[in-house]
Structure 1
Amino acid sequence: MSNTTKSNIGNSILDVDICVIGAGSGGLSVAAGAAQLGASTVLIERHRMGGDCLNTGCVPSKALLAAGKAAHRWRGERALGVEYAPPGVDFAAVNRHVHEVIAAIAPNDSIERFEGLGVRVIQGTARFAGPREVVAGDTRIRARRFVIATGSSATVPPIPGLDGVPYFTNETVFDNTVLPRHLIVIGGGPIGLEMAQAHRALGAEVTVLEAARVLPKDDPELATLLRQQFVNEGIAVRERVKILRVEPDGDGVALVLDTGEGDEERITGSHILVAAGRRPNVAGLDLEKAGIAYGPRGITVDARLRTSNRRVFAIGDVAGGPQFTHVAGYHAGIVIRNAQFRLPAKVDYRALPWVTYTEPEFAHVGLTEEQARAAHGDAITVLRWPFVENDRAQTERKTSGLVKAVTTKSGKILGASILGAEAGELIQVWTLAIGQGLTVKALAGMIVPYPTLGEVSKRAAGSFYTPKLFGERTRRLVRLLSWFG
């Protein structure tokens, strides 16, 4: 369909093949892919190109973490025989570093780049005017297919008094140029823990308050080990707490907790960071006019990411699934195959990895031990290999951590969790194995260079065979063979 402009009650009308709403990771991937395949494409963004990931999420958080890790290393190399003076942290300079990283990556997501690819970029707020029509400013867009990629925003819990004090979310914390004296983090998920550790390494006192347990979607055994690491670094981690209210306290804030015994406990700090989950961005889209079903968790989609209006797809956080940038990118590929090639591609999360970028890193793919037992009962095998048994980890004094994998009795890999140095890199071999249906035999038999951290995965996989290899039956066989010379 041609990209034409008409007149209708003073508004211009664009007739295009595909209209993408939201220029975050998923929306940009769809727009770039569709345009390069020759489809006439419109991309609508009401705020900043690059969305949450570039501006207030993955990129700035990892940049801040890098600064925190640099300060942590500066303090902690004494075991290697290297002495440093205490690090001097210029928090304003750290903030400049964060925004320089954003600026360095921004051209990849810029309007200029996408217009160069042939995408028509409209800066404005999109809303549906019917099943096949969207309005953005003075422009009406009619498209064969629409893709909603509006992402999510920080959830602010209804804690009494919270709206009466200043607080950060991920959307504002990276504009802060003054190191907090005492940062109180509400939420013990990945964002909360990453920001807690980064600020602690840069010199702030930090308290984490979590209503359940930290990292509730991850393996509890490894999450407990990470929690202890935080405690060792001087971060106060409080789990299963109930916040009764928030109050001003001089030039700071106070959070009043329920002790569970009829008393109250008061924690004072200088700043609050709210990291208590995300909510899908659906407000103002007028989804009802397009016949698109949605709820508190986001837009309802099927396995092909189609909404109740079959001409409209939803991807990324707004689709109510796993909230990761790489999932939005994966969704983009599913939509391109469906919308452009008419292939019935479906999402499959069995080999979906995720990483919490603390130090040590915490990575996971597939089922946890608890999930595997729920699905397979006792017909599973749990494999473990500690980093302390890895020579490369010893040479670098990065021995905290563990590889934990879950398999069937036949050796099919069901899931893996890694807490340790470079876990985000190490999890990828397990992701490939699960995605391709490999067994532990493939990992146990691979040749890995020595000394590398990658040996922990090989050793963990190899431990599947240890009971049989060194059991009495094998010993008898060896004794029998020895009779033949």
Structure 2
Amino acid sequence: MPETIKADICVIGAGSGGLSVAAGAVQMGAKVVLLEGGKMGGDCLNYGCVPSKALIAAAAQAHAMTAGETLGVSPVTPKVDYAAAMEHVRQTIETIAPVDSQERFEGLGVRVIREWGRFVSDREVQAGPYAIRARRFVIATGSSPMVPAIPGLEDVPYLTNETLFGLREKPAHLLIIGGGPIGIEMAQAHRRLGCEVTVIEGETALGRDDPEAAALVLEKLRAEGVRIVEGAKAQKVSGGSDGITVETGQGAFTGSHLLVAVGRKVNTDRLDLHKAGVETDGGVVVGDNLRSTNRRIYAVGDAAGRQQFTHVAGYHAGVVVRALLFGLPAKAKDAHLPRATYTDPELAQVGLTEAEARTEYGGRLEVVRTDYAENDRAIATGRTTGFVKVMIVGGRPVGATLVGAEAGDLAATWSLVIANRLKMSAVSAMVAPYPTLAELNKRAAGAYFSPKLFDNPSVKRVVGLVQRLLP
């Protein structure tokens, strides 16, 4: 007979969202059981955000050696040790891993069970030799690479983000099916590390993003030698260890390695959610309170079927913890959630794009922008490609698009502003150190107010009157 464990909260999945729920709940007095059949830390630590950014850093270092001529530094051809770059990736994961480890969470008081969980009723989960009965459950199972049904794909040695970082031999020519953020990031990184790279995209590369901003990123990649073929749906894959060919309506492309990066699917298959009365639709069907169709069961992060980002999972965890521990009404909002693609230049979005805002607000929308070329720090460092564009309704931002150096960092300001329903005057009142890229955000606010002040006859009349009246 299985051992029965009773808990206040059972968390299924030890990725960003699950770990945040478990840590917050146990430290505030709840009895918590955490189930994880795979690696602690989930996709982000082991296969996603952490390893990809570590590899991007290695690639950026290599590229810097070739790009200093305008700053008076003679370019040289870097000697890239691909295996050593991947070793840097491994060491980065190992350095961060203790924060997400079983030992740390057991030290906090969490009962960690390294088994896959599945529901056997509306309030009980089976995990190996254990039966867990909890007052509340949180599904935080994340997502996995989606593998499309392309004829022949199952017969070739293809890569996904879960296997890419295990490589030690540098690909001579990396084919990438998928021109979304993962595909584009890895395309630029591998090109900078000395690989030939071809991106095969069935529709439009970076198609979710602002077209003007995405065009700057794609232009940079093409200038660096990445071949990006759009409108080329993969129809057949063939080959083996001596070469892989992807056939499309725009011709066939042959390379040494193939990376499949066409999106992700939520990990719910093994949970037997139907036995718990939980409806699914791609992910777990939840309301804004992240509660499923079973009032005892919540979902966070990718499992909630919304935006698939680590920081969103962490945000969801905070929403759920307030509800689980204090019984407070709490809702997850999407308007202020940022996303970023860590190419060079970086591409970031908070809230609505210009096209989305025009559809929603029509003539009420105002759009302002400022260019990196007008920022003194960008000029000094030779990083003048890019812009900040802000969508505004009634004086309040509803979206911001940023493309350029450190765009992901700059986006945080707009998340703060939108989350707290601040007006552009709050950004205008900000004082950024000089010279920094952060001044771009303040300059965008200036672009909003300048016409209202400097091109306004009424303002000029008032100023003239005041000047005449002053002693």
Aligned equivalents of 2:360, 2:119: Cα separation in 1: 42
Other-structure match for 2:407: 423
What fraction of aligned residue pairs are identical, expressed as a percent? 53
Other-structure match for 1:450: 434
Give the letter aligned to residue 121 of structure 1: V
Give the letter aligned to residue 277 of structure 2: G
Structure 1 residue 477, shift from structure 2 partner:
5.2
SS of the residue corresponding to residue 120 of structure 2 reads: strand
Other-structure match for 1:284: 270
Structure 1 residue 237, shift from structure 2 partner:
1.3
Give the letter aligned to residue 414 of structure 1: V
Other-structure match for 2:146: 155
CA offsets per residue over residues 411-470 of structure 1, 9 Å max, x none? 211110110111111111111111111111221232222111111111111111222323
Structure 1 residue 17, shift from structure 2 partner:
0.8
Matched, 1:252 2:238: no
Other-structure match for 2:201: 210
CA offsets per residue over residues 13-33 of structure 1, 9 Å max, x none? 101111111111111111111
Q: Decide whether the 8 Å contact of 1:249 with 1:268 is kept in 2.
A: no
Q: Decide whether the 8 Å contact of 1:46 with 1:124 is kept in 2.
A: yes
Other-structure match for 1:368: 353
Aligned equivalents of 2:301, 2:460: Cα separation in 1: 54
1:322 to 304, 307, 315: 307
Q: Decide whether the 8 Å contact of 1:350 with 1:434 is kept in 2.
A: yes
Give the letter aligned to residue 453 of structure 2: L
Structure 1 residue 346, shift from structure 2 partner:
0.6
Structure 1 unaligned blocks of 5 or more: 1-9, 260-264
Other-structure match for 2:234: 243
Aligned equivalents of 2:178, 2:252: Cα separation in 1: 17
2:318 to 333, 357, 371: 333
Give the letter aligned to residue 388 of structure 1: A
Q: Decide whether the 8 Å contact of 2:82 with 2:170 is kept in 1.
A: yes
- Spell out the pairing of 1:138-149 with structure 2 (5 A cutoff): 138-149=129-140
Structure 1 residue 401, shift from structure 2 partner:
0.5
CA offsets per residue over residues 244-263 of structure 1, 9 Å max, x none? 2112177111111113xxxx
Q: Decide whether the 8 Å contact of 1:212 with 1:239 is kept in 2.
A: yes
- Spell out the pairing of 1:170-189 with structure 2 (5 A cutoff): 170-189=161-180
Structure 1 residue 74, shift from structure 2 partner:
1.3
1:471 to 434, 441, 455: 455
Other-structure match for 1:384: 369
Structure 1 residue 478, shift from structure 2 partner:
5.3
Aligned equivalents of 2:467, 2:7: Cα separation in 1: 77
SS of the residue corresponding to residue 76 of structure 1 reads: coil
Q: Decide whether the 8 Å contact of 2:241 with 2:256 is kept in 1.
A: no
CA offsets per residue over residues 352-393 of structure 1, 9 Å max, x none? 111111111111101111111111112211111110111100
Aligned equivalents of 1:22, 1:481: Cα separation in 2: 65
Matched, 1:98 2:60: no
Q: Decide whether the 8 Å contact of 1:252 with 1:270 is kept in 2.
A: yes
Aligned equivalents of 2:426, 2:171: Cα separation in 1: 49
Other-structure match for 2:343: 358
SS of the residue corresponding to residue 52 of structure 1 reads: helix
Matched, 1:400 2:385: yes
Runs of 4+ in 1 over 3 A off after TM superposition: 474-485
Aligned equivalents of 1:231, 1:17: Cα separation in 2: 53
SS of the residue corresponding to residue 303 of structure 1 reads: coil
Q: Decide whether the 8 Å contact of 1:147 with 1:313 is kept in 2.
A: yes
SS of the residue corresponding to residue 83 of structure 1 reads: coil
SS of the residue corresponding to residue 349 of structure 1 reads: coil
Q: CA RMSD in A?
A: 1.5
SS of the residue corresponding to residue 321 of structure 2 reads: helix
Aligned equivalents of 1:141, 1:13: Cα separation in 2: 6
CA offsets per residue over residues 121-163 of structure 1, 9 Å max, x none? 1111111111111111111111111111111000011111111
Give the letter aligned to residue 332 of structure 1: A
Aligned equivalents of 1:362, 1:219: Cα separation in 2: 9
SS of the residue corresponding to residue 199 of structure 1 reads: helix
Across the two proteins, how many residue pairs are aligned to each other?
A: 469
Other-structure match for 2:69: 78
